[in-house]
Amino acid sequence: MDRLTAIREKMESSEPLDFEDAKYILQSNELLQIGEIARSLKIKKSGKKVYFVFNKHINYTNLCVSKCKFCAFYRNGDEPDAYTMEPEQIVQELSKMPEGIREVHIVGGLHPTKPFSYYIEMLKAIKTNFPNVNIKAFTAVEIDYFSKISGLGYKEVLIELKKAGLDSMPGGGAEVFSDRVRKKLYPNKIGQEKWLEIHAIAHTLGIPTNATLLFGHIESDEEIISHLFKLRELQEKYPGFLCFIPLSFHPENTPFEGRIEKVDAVRELKVLALSRLILDNFPHIKAYWVMLSPKVGQIGLHFGADDIDGTIGEERVTHAAGAKSPLGLAKESIINLIKNAGFVPVERDALYNEIEVFN
Ligand code: V47
């Protein structure tokens, strides 16, 4: 039996893939067969449905003390384009959105001087003005930083944020769970132990979260695979992950511009398919159109993804690093992308409750 047939049989009998299976997938050129196995698992989990959310991204500041080498978004504070949004400005920004917005996705830099109360006030202001909007905010990296600036433990920080209106957490800041890569690219940022610990605590407090992987820089295949297995293990012990999002590195405006080429679509699709197959205990896999482009994102739906994120409004992190995708997409465009790929668009809320099925 050839290796892919064996992998397919494992998938059909719900047997987990092992490290060597994963390596075979990443290094194989049998792209369509790999996609088909991942797609079969997607169909088993969510049928023909592909989810999207009417959402808006808010990046509240680009000041950041972490200064990660892969990031084109951060500023030190004295540049003309450095900015920080006050809670009232965020409320004003959200007021411009049409009716029906379900989720606000909030992440920002690690601000050098704002106190913990700034983040609490931000959540309260949004919740008071938009009680029906789910607040998906702050990565584990921010939670660790809030713990440092407030003197509170991770659990206490999360409890305070939840009381102020936090509903769920995005999956950013995971990068790749490798101490080797961390030392080189983001030495000032939390590593895998703390990232995983914070998500485990969030899950035990009833705060659902997402997870990401940043790939296409200096990581090895083995580091990608071990990242995925660590997430699978955490979900096994402390369930609460809703969705996994692989993020391909955009080198423009970073020290890697001209030295690292952005990964190609074949690699993006293989990582997407591999994620679906290894993370068989994750309900959803996202083909994040901002990173992939709407076109590759659409193809990603045939490689195991059952979610394409949302309208987004105005994304700044990837666009600072040269993303050529639009700043936002209209709901109709997202519906058409999904329909034209042969799937059924389902508008969801942040927790994957179905709002409307577009048959
Ligand atoms: O953590 C930073 C990545 C992430 C670059 O949870 C870069 O639903 C590519 O986590 N090239 C933030 N990537 C985005 C994120 C996210 C996005 C969409 C949905 C969700 C979700 C989460 O962006 C960072 C980092 O890994 N990033 N710089 C860059 N130059």
pLDDT digits (tens, 9 = 90+) for 194-205: 999 999 999 999
Q: Which of 318, 325, 352 to mutate to test the pocket of ligand 1 (most atoms within 8 A of CB)?
A: 318
pLDDT-above-90 percentage for the chain: 92
More confident position, 328 or 357: 357
Task: Report pLDDT for 125.
Answer: 98
In the structure, what pLDDT confidence band is assigned to residue 20 with cuts at 50, 70 and 90? very high
Least confident of 20-29, 118-127, 252-261, 316-325: 316-325
Q: Which residue's CA lies nearest to atom 4 of ligand 1?
A: 172
Give the atom of ligand 1 at the shortest distance from the alpha carbon of 173. Answer: 1
| Interatomic CA distance for residues 359 and 205, integer angstroms | 36
Q: Which residue's CA lies nearest to atom 5 of ligand 1?
A: 71
Answer yes or no: is pLDDT of 1 > 80: no
Q: Which residue's CA lies nearest to atom 2 of ligand 1?
A: 71
| Interatomic CA distance for residues 244 and 226, integer angstroms | 15
Go through 77-116 and write b for each residue having 16 or more CB atoms within 10 A of its CB, e for each that does not: eeeeeeebbebeebbebbeebeeebbbbbbbbbbbeebeb
Q: For the residues 276-297, what does the mean pLDDT come to?
A: 96
Q: For the residues 24-44, what does the mean pLDDT come to?
A: 97
In the structure, what pLDDT confidence band is assigned to residue 330 with cuts at 50, 70 and 90? confident
Task: Report pLDDT for 319.
Answer: 85
**Dist. CA 9 → ligand 1 center (Å):** 33
The 10s digit of each residue's pLDDT in 51-74 is: 999 999 999 999 999 999 999 999
Instruction: Report whether residue 61 contacts ligand 1, using a CB cutoff of 6 Å.
Output: no
In the structure, what pLDDT confidence band is assigned to residue 97 with cuts at 50, 70 and 90? confident
Q: For the residues 319-346, what does the mean pLDDT come to?
A: 90
Answer yes or no: is pLDDT of 314 > 80: no
Structure tokens at 39: 């797609």
In the structure, what pLDDT confidence band is assigned to residue 313 with cuts at 50, 70 and 90? confident
Q: For the residues 320-345, what does the mean pLDDT come to?
A: 90
Residues 6+ apart with CB under 8 A from 330: 311
The 10s digit of each residue's pLDDT in 168-186 is: 999 999 999 999 999 999 9
Answer yes or no: is pLDDT of 312 > 90: no
Residue 227's identity, in one-letter code, is H
Give the atom of ligand 1 at the shortest distance from the alpha carbon of 171. Answer: 6
Instruction: Report whether residue 172 contacts ligand 1, using a CB cutoff of 6 Å.
Output: yes
Least confident of 10-19, 291-300, 319-328, 349-358: 319-328
**CATH code of the domain made up of 3-8+16-343:** 3.20.20.70
Answer yes or no: is pLDDT of 274 > 90: yes
In the structure, what pLDDT confidence band is assigned to residue 322 with cuts at 50, 70 and 90? confident
DSSP secondary structure string for all residues of 1-36: --HHHHHHHHHHTTPPP-HHHHHHHHH---HHHHHH
Output Rg (C-alpha) for the chain, integer angstroms: 19
Q: For the residues 231-254, what does the mean pLDDT come to?
A: 96
- Using CA atoms, how far residue 216 sits from 32, 53, 246, 310, in Å, is 21, 27, 10, 24
| Interatomic CA distance for residues 316 and 137, integer angstroms | 15
Task: Report pLDDT for 334.
Answer: 93
**Average predicted confidence (pLDDT) for the chain:** 95
Structure tokens at 221: 């295949």
Answer yes or no: is pLDDT of 210 > 90: yes
Handedness of CA 93, 61, 198, 275 (dihedral sign): positive
Instruction: Report whether residue 311 contacts ligand 1, using a CB cutoff of 6 Å.
Output: no
Among 152, 147, 106, which residue's Cα sits nearest to residue 126? Answer: 106
Instruction: Report whether residue 60 contacts ligand 1, using a CB cutoff of 6 Å.
Output: no
Q: Cβ(167)–Cβ(202) under 8 Å?
A: no
Q: Cβ(247)–Cβ(213) under 8 Å?
A: yes
Query: What is the C-alpha end-to-end distance of the chain, expressed in Å?
Result: 40
In the structure, what pLDDT confidence band is assigned to residue 99 with cuts at 50, 70 and 90? confident
**Dist. CA 287 → ligand 1 center (Å):** 13
Task: Report pLDDT for 101.
Answer: 92
Answer yes or no: is pLDDT of 38 > 90: yes
Answer yes or no: is pLDDT of 278 > 90: yes
**Dist. CA 1 → ligand 1 center (Å):** 39
Answer yes or no: is pLDDT of 327 > 80: no
In the structure, what pLDDT confidence band is assigned to residue 247 with cuts at 50, 70 and 90? very high
Q: Which residue's CA lies nearest to atom 28 of ligand 1?
A: 71
Answer yes or no: is pLDDT of 131 > 90: yes
